Amino acid sequence: MIELGKALQIVRKHLLSPGKETVSLAASPGRYLAEDLRADRDIPPFHKASMDGFACRKEDLPGPLEVLELLPAGQVPSERVGAGQCSRIMTGGQVPEGADCVIMQEHVVMESGERIRFSGSYSESHICRKGEDLRKGDLLLEEGTLLEPQHLGMMATVGKNEVLVTRRIHAGILATGSELVDVSEVPLGAQIRNSNSLQLAAQVQRAGHTAELLGIVMDDKDLLTEKISGLMERFDLLLVTGGASVGEFDLVPGVLQDQGFNLEFERVAMQPGKPLTFAQRDGKVCFGLSGNPVSCFVQFEMLVKPFLCWSAGGDLPQGHIRCRMEEGFTRRKSDRLFFLPVVLRPGGGCAPVEYHGSAHLHALDKLAGFAELPAGITTLKRGEEVDVRLI
Ligand code: AMP
Ligand code: MG
């Protein structure tokens, strides 16, 4: 059994290299950027009014000021603002030369003719200076960024209509277990529905990649061998769920080994999720995950997701926060790092959910993340601060 940190180090040595492709900006959310992006011009590209009002010289305030012209957004000023002058300007408009501030229209009194007077007290210029956000050539986004809506806005701003991204990894997902039936079927006797495959596929998708469901295979060594050997031809990454432990029908590690895979590890010191096989052969990788649905979920989040993110050039995906426990929690054994499902409370604290163990998937209904109890720690007191891995 190895520590999670060690397991991550090993996984990191066997990353996939999915390559790169160009996609349209519109198709880029959820993809990993495969190039550094730089600003193609200063942002803002000109001194810009951030309020509706009048562009003028601060030293001339409170006026009176003669109004030269109207400057809506999109219009290039035709007049320089001199002493005792101003131009009416709208938010987003280009500030005319000579002006060093924009006074808000709410603070202006109209006088006779085309003249105004400032009636407020001056506090700020209300001008966004040319290049104050980014200079032409400055780094806008780093290679490896997982693209989210705000990044699309940034890329649109610099005219990046086509983006170089990492190709998606296509993972195969295989469920093992003679008790399993497909979601569409009615389970009979001691059968249960296969809930892990679709859950895993959605986790793969959320991590920016794609998955193919490969059905269910019975707990039979020959069937499993045949299935896995065929699949490794088609997939660089295979996620197998079930049969990963040490029971009589836990056949996955043995089959992988017979197929010439190197078993890099078979157990990780975490709870839930201890039985976890990581195997590789000639650049192909297989994770043998638990059958228990919560374990399977946690194993994906803690190990498979980092593997996918790193393979795509991204960073370790989980955010961490420190959070105050609003209720205490005690466990009996403390030999492994424990992931306790928690919800966030309005005041900034967190609380454990009712959790019956690694088969209790419904406990994750309102999941915010997992509070970490390191090995050796049995109790979290009410009011104590704890590390929470956000999911
Ligand atoms: P295993 O890892 O095969 O020993 O399975 C552990 C537990 O998880 C058993 O109760 C299985 O019935 C259950 N299980 C295994 N595979 C799945 C699956 N794909 N969906 C839901 N439960 C499963
Ligand atoms: Mg099983």
Percent of the chain with pLDDT strictly greater than 90? 95
CATH number where 195 lies: 3.40.980.10
Domain end position, chosen among 142, 166, 190: 166
- The answer on 182 and 276 residing in a single domain is yes
Average pLDDT value for residue range 158-183 = 97
| Dist. CA 153–CA 147, nearest whole Å | 10
pLDDT level of residue 103 (50, 70, 90 thresholds)? very high
- The answer on 122 and 255 residing in a single domain is no
Average pLDDT value for residue range 20-36 = 97
Does the CB atom of residue 288 touch ligand 1 within 6 A? Answer: no
Q: Which atom of ligand 1 is nearest to the CA of 244?
A: 2
| Dist. CA 180–CA 195, nearest whole Å | 9
pLDDT level of residue 164 (50, 70, 90 thresholds)? very high
Residue type, 258: D
φ, ψ for residue 247 (rounded to 5)? -70, 170
CATH number where 65 lies: 2.170.190.11
The string of DSSP codes covering 201-213 is HHHHHHTT-EEEE
Residue 285 CA to ligand 2 centre (angstroms): 21
Instruction: Indicate the number of domains in the chain.
Output: 4
Residue 338 CA to ligand 1 centre (angstroms): 20
Average pLDDT value for residue range 312-323 = 88
Pocket test for ligand 1, best of 173, 178, 181, 192 (most atoms within 8 A of CB): 192
Angle at 290 between CA 284 and CA 291, to 5 degrees: 120
- The answer on 104 and 177 residing in a single domain is no
- For the record, the structure tokens of 284 come out as 């192909």
- The answer on 276 and 379 residing in a single domain is no
Q: Compute the 3-state secondary structure of the chain and give helix, strand, coil in percent, each to the nearest 5.
A: 20, 35, 45
- The answer on 277 and 193 residing in a single domain is yes
What is the reported pLDDT for 319?
87
- The answer on 242 and 173 residing in a single domain is yes
CATH number where 153 lies: 3.90.105.10
What is the reported pLDDT for 233?
85
CATH number where 329 lies: 2.40.340.10
What are 267-307's pLDDT values in tens digits? 999 999 999 999 999 999 999 999 999 999 999 999 999 99
Residue 215 CA to ligand 1 centre (angstroms): 14
Residue type, 82: G
Does the CB atom of residue 299 touch ligand 1 within 6 A? Answer: no
Average pLDDT value for residue range 52-81 = 97
- Whether 318 shows a pLDDT value over 80: the answer reads no
Residue 229 CA to ligand 1 centre (angstroms): 22
User: Half-sphere exposure of residue 87, counting CA atoms within 13 Å on the CB side?
Assistant: 26
pLDDT level of residue 168 (50, 70, 90 thresholds)? very high
- The answer on 281 and 184 residing in a single domain is yes
Average pLDDT value for residue range 43-67 = 97
Residue type, 207: A
Q: Which atom of ligand 1 is nearest to the CA of 275?
A: 2
| Dist. CA 204–CA 154, nearest whole Å | 26
What is the reported pLDDT for 28?
97
- The answer on 140 and 122 residing in a single domain is no
- Whether 351 shows a pLDDT value over 90: the answer reads yes
Secondary structure letter of residue 93 according to DSSP: P
What are 210-262's pLDDT values in tens digits? 999 999 999 999 999 999 999 988 999 999 999 988 888 899 999 999 999 99
Does the CB atom of residue 334 touch ligand 1 within 6 A? Answer: no
3-state secondary structure 348-363: CCEEECCCCCCCCHHH
- The answer on 162 and 271 residing in a single domain is no
Domain end position, chosen among 271, 294, 311: 311
- The answer on 100 and 75 residing in a single domain is yes
List residues bridging with 52 in a β-sheet.
none
- The answer to whether 381 and 325 have CB atoms below 8 angstroms apart is yes
- The answer on 372 and 305 residing in a single domain is no
Residue range(s) defining the domain that contains residue 97: 48-128
The string of DSSP codes covering 298-350 is HHIIIIIHHHHHHHTT------EEEEEBSS-EE-S--SSEEEEEEEE-TTS-E
What is the reported pLDDT for 246?
84
| Dist. CA 159–CA 136, nearest whole Å | 13
Domain end position, chosen among 252, 282, 311: 311
- The answer to whether 251 and 300 have CB atoms below 8 angstroms apart is no
What are 195-213's pLDDT values in tens digits? 999 999 999 999 999 999 9
What is the reported pLDDT for 310?
97
- The answer on 329 and 214 residing in a single domain is no
